[in-house]
Structure 1
């Protein structure tokens, strides 16, 4: 089941979103979903990296962490 989330956009952000969706022919909802998905992935990646670094005897690189989450 899908949920609906209402957000408020500044006029500047709305204009950028409109330009992008017009140029690429995709709905604004898809752009916002992709942006949110990317943001959440990055946050989860950073949290996992932080946890692993606390436990590690040797430092992990971003590539090491990426391999764990992929």
Structure 2
């Protein structure tokens, strides 16, 4: 099921969205959906990374070399 969501954009973003939509041969909605999926995935990645960094630091793993030594 799809839901319609109304958003307001500055004119510059609207123009860029229209340009990219035209160049890609896809709808504005598809571009916005893709952008939101990527945004949510990036947020989740950053949250997980922050969690794992804390765990790693607690175990004395702080540098790339520390990681390499652990996995080698």
TM-score, normalisation: structure 1:
0.78
1:21 corresponds to 2:21 = yes
Could you tell me how far apart the structure 1 residues matched to 2:30 and 2:51 are? 32
Larger Rg: 2
| Count of residues in correspondence between the two structures | 62
TM-score by length of 2: 0.76
Output the aligned Cα RMSD: 1.9
Unmatched segments (≥5 aa) in structure 1: 65-70
